[in-house]
Structure 1
Amino acid sequence: MSSDLWSFSLTTYARPGVEQACLQLQATGVNVCLLLCAAWLGERGIACNEQRLQQLRNVARTWDADVVRPLRALRMQWKDAAAKDAGLRSLREQVKTLELEAERHLLQQLERSAQNWPQEETTDLSAWLEGVAADAADLDRNALHQLRVAVTGT
């Protein structure tokens, strides 16, 4: 398992089914960076509780709202037009790079926030995933299960 959250996120996101599950969950309002952080914490054996969940939500809230989502919205807004315009396609790719860098920054903030939490003996993955997804408008439980299976292999 990767020791840092960014490496874990890249490795996990590349696993079969994870990207699709994350995008489905994102469509219901779940923050993918929080999901990946939850998976990382669960796999590391960090106990999940409401105080820790709230701390992570607080870390993510402003950066996601002010930086990540506006970049994503701009990238998505340009999707159709970029298919017909090479210049716009290039700009869209630059925005995509900025969006990924913004997500990397958020993951680093989340990791720093959780760095002193003690590791336990047991894995608490389901509690973490359910906890960060709890506020989703119409949670896709199948996608959440698919993500858990992809992370654990079981």
Structure 2
Amino acid sequence: MTAPPVEMNSPLWRFSLAVYRGAGVHEECLDVQERFGIDVNLLMLCAYVGAVEGAVLSASDVADALEASGAWHANAVRTLRQVRRTLKPWGSGEGPFANMVEALRTKVKGAELEAEQIEQAMMWGWLRAQAGPWRRREPRQALIANVFALLVRCGATGAQADPQQALPQFCAAALRVGTREQATGTGP
């Protein structure tokens, strides 16, 4: 049995790029990443499944999705992110090496983005391999349920676990993009 081809430019990746461009989304994603250690790629997967497919993930589905790419995220994506952050003060100064360090930081940033794309390809493969039927809901309800499950898994409580309060711009952008993908047939 041959493995299915890896889809680097998957509908999930295209959805994520479109959502991330939304006003205020970048800041909200970084906020929950810093506060709760949320993998933004997993956040995008949860949003995609809800907003585009209208499917509700269980807590164990979220755990399984995390398992599918968690080691890559921890060992590749986070490592590259840390290197990029470490280089930032070295490249922003006036010293003789600032330009060279900033050029290196730009390359590391590109590698970090590519590592995130690989992570999303892993997640897309996991998503396409799921055979069991998920509960279906209206996309807004499914999106909120999926993001809530992820926030709770990562330790958010109370209002911090309410996607509409913790991530209002993200949720709005995901629903806009998801609705467009459903209407144009560019989803799965």
Give the TM-score normalised by structure 2: 0.73
Structure 1 unmatched ranges of 5 or more? none
In structure 1, distance between residues paired with 2:166 and 2:102: 30
State the shift of 1:116 in Å. 4.4
User: Which aligned pairs between 1:5-154 and structure 2 lie closer than 5 A?
Assistant: 5-28=12-35, 29-43=37-51, 44-84=53-93, 85-117=98-130, 118=133, 120=136, 122-123=138-139, 124-137=142-155, 140=160, 141=162, 142-153=165-176
- 1:60 CA drift (Å): 2.6
SS at structure 2 position matched to 1:78: helix
Larger radius of gyration: 2
**8 Å contact 1:34–1:56 — kept in the other structure?**
yes
Name the count of aligned residue pairs.
Answer: 152
Q: Highest relative contact order (Cα 8 Å, sep 6+), 1 or 2? A: 1
Q: Percent identity among equivalent residues?
A: 28
Structure 1 vs Structure 2 CA RMSD: 2.1
One-letter amino acid of the structure 1 residue matched with residue 22 of structure 2:
R
Q: TM-score, normalised by structure 1?
A: 0.88
| Distance verdict in 2 for CA 1:33–1:52, change over 3 Å | same
Unaligned residue ranges in structure 2 (runs of 5+): 1-9, 177-188
